[in-house]
Amino acid sequence: MQKPETKSPPGPKNGISLTEAQEMQNDTLGFVMKAAAQYGDIMRYRIGFWDVYFLNHPDYIQHVLLDNWKNYGRQTFQFKKFALVTGDGLLNTHGERWQKHRRLMQPSFHQKKLGGMAEAMWSAVGRLGDRWDRLLVENGGTAEIEVDSHMLRLALEIVGQALFSLDLTAEADHLSQEMLEMMTYIVYRSQNLLALPAIVPTPRNNRFRRTLNKLNRRIQEMIAARRQAGEAVHDDLLDLLVFSQDATGQGLSDVEIRDEVMTLMIAGYETVASGMSWLWSLLAEHEDVQARLVAELREALGNGRPTYRQMSQLPILNGVIQEGFRLYPPSWLITRRSLAPDQIGGYDIPAGSLVVLCPYAIHRHPDFWPDGERFDIGRFLDGAEKAQHKYAYIPFGGGPHLCIGKPFAQLEAALTLGTLLPRFKLTHARPKPAVDPQVTIRPSDGLWMNLTRRD
């Protein structure tokens, strides 16, 4: 019998060359953009023993994330490394367990709950504003600060308080350090395919295990305290995880709860912080947009406290956040593994293939985002975004695995800018940092800015 003809997407014939491998390591995003320009919207790279399919067209992205999403699981290198820290949480799972846990947690991120969460966000942002005020008094009215670390601390305090009723004010600095250490370890393991397994007692692995054990103990204490209380009194996500039962009366185990708590801390922390850092940087670069935003905020809010409802009704604020997340999508890489053979754009995708989507690249696709490097909030004003292909803009992914924290993150960004921007001005103190694609896209060597009071 004649073998059916297979059609493979364009890409280098003989696999990735040594030069290309080095380029990919040194400037991953540059490499991806160059490859997309050379090979088009779908390409195949052979890296070592693996075929990697890179998709850079919204139709193809929609196919993987929505139309045929069940066929694209998360058994990828990226997620396996995450699992070292998060276990089998929502971010790493795909099948029945994922569905059960997603259904359980979804109501906690419902619009109705966000009003209450806004309180926690507002208090944490208020404390940051007070710290900035004190810094300015101590430094004679101007201070050079590393904005990214301030945003990381803020995001951690907010996740702790809003989801788990945890006041992390006193420990946020060292906890943030420990979380970052774990993220750095995940990146190290992802980039070093020959690194010894985590159980081998190398100094790096030992340090990782120590930090992970410490954080695990902290989460275990939280779970134990809730179980001891015997009933849900906080009305937060942790109560939901600890006291929920399925139809058979079965609740989640401590390990399952730990995995979800760790997942939410990890997924909801560095992402928001890096998104916020780039927003500050963009506003500093675009004084005209900043002035329009300050005017909008002052007119709408006066000196009052911004509310949850007001936040969604401010077009410039919304435009700045959406356009900022387009240019600097914190989660710059989404990976999947095909479970059964499939076809995309007329090309064959064999079972077991690694499929890679890059929000950073699709957000600059010239057919969908003309002059893509330009910061232009008009792309998101007066409903302009409605004309856009939905899967040309994927800072929060899409389909059933769409980021569960999307409304939470958007509100957090809005409240942070809405509260701090009318009071403080940040300008670049050093040249604008390059983009460093770690777990999220971070400012390399930090984001150093001069802080002053606006008035």
**Tokens of residue 113, six digits:** 């709950």
Whether the Cβ atoms of residue 85 and residue 186 lie closer than 8 Å to each other:
yes
User: Which residues are CB-contacts of 228 (< 8 A; sequence separation ≥ 6)?
Assistant: none
User: What does DSSP assign to residue 367?
Assistant: T
Closest-CA residue to 407 (of 15, 165, 155, 110): 110
Judged by CB under 6 A, the residue of 71, 86, 161, 263 near ligand HEM is 263
Q: Does residue 102 interact with ligand HEM by CB under 6 A?
A: yes
Burial class (CB in 10 A: 0-12, 13-18, 19+), 247: exposed
Instruction: Tell the smallest beta-carbon distance from residue 299 to ligand HEM (Å).
Output: 26
Give the whole-angstrom CA distance, residue 75 versus residue 77. 7
- Report how far Cα 120 is from the mean position of its chain's Cα atoms: 20
- Please provide residue 15's backbone torsions phi and psi, each rounded to the nearest 5 degrees: 75, 180
Give the whole-angstrom CA distance, residue 385 versus residue 391. 11
Whose Cβ is closer to ligand HEM: residue 44's or residue 326's?
A: 326
Whether the Cβ atoms of residue 59 and residue 42 lie closer than 8 Å to each other:
no
Instruction: Tell the smallest beta-carbon distance from residue 372 to ligand HEM (Å).
Output: 18
Whether the Cβ atoms of residue 109 and residue 403 lie closer than 8 Å to each other:
no
Site string for ligand HEM, 310-349 (x = CB under 6 A): --------------------xx--x---------------
Instruction: Tell the smallest beta-carbon distance from residue 63 to ligand HEM (Å).
Output: 14
Q: Does residue 43 interact with ligand HEM by CB under 6 A?
A: no
Q: Does residue 87 interact with ligand HEM by CB under 6 A?
A: no
Judged by CB under 6 A, the residue of 36, 91, 154, 238 near ligand HEM is 91
* Sheet with strand 334-338: strands edge to edge: 42-47, 50-55, 354-357, 334-338, 72-73
Judged by CB under 6 A, the residue of 160, 275, 319, 422 near ligand HEM is 275
Site string for ligand HEM, 152-171 (x = CB under 6 A): -------x------------
Find the part of the chain contacting ligand HEM (CB under 6 A) among 19-27, 182-190, 226-234, 394-402: 394-402
> Which stretch of DSSP H or E encloses residue 144?
strand 143-146
Whose Cβ is closer to ligand HEM: residue 21's or residue 187's?
A: 187
Nearest residue to ligand HEM on Cβ basis = 405
Judged by CB under 6 A, the residue of 160, 306, 397, 422 near ligand HEM is 397
Judged by CB under 6 A, the residue of 401, 411, 414, 417 near ligand HEM is 401
Q: Does residue 443 interact with ligand HEM by CB under 6 A?
A: no
- CA angle, corner 431, sides to 177 and 185, nearest 5? 25
Give the whole-angstrom CA distance, residue 385 versus residue 282. 20
Q: Does residue 219 interact with ligand HEM by CB under 6 A?
A: no
Whose Cβ is closer to ligand HEM: residue 81's or residue 425's?
A: 81
**Tokens of residue 208, six digits:** 């990782």
Whose Cβ is closer to ligand HEM: residue 118's or residue 334's?
A: 334
Size of the site for ligand HEM (CB under 6 A): 23
Q: In the block, which residue shows the tokens 């921007």?
A: 421
Q: Does residue 90 interact with ligand HEM by CB under 6 A?
A: yes
Whether the Cβ atoms of residue 327 and residue 359 lie closer than 8 Å to each other:
no
**Tokens of residue 219, six digits:** 């989460």
Q: Does residue 272 interact with ligand HEM by CB under 6 A?
A: yes
Q: Which residues bind ligand HEM (CB under 6 A)?
A: 90-91, 102, 159, 263-264, 267-268, 271-272, 275, 330-331, 334, 395-397, 401, 403-405, 408-409
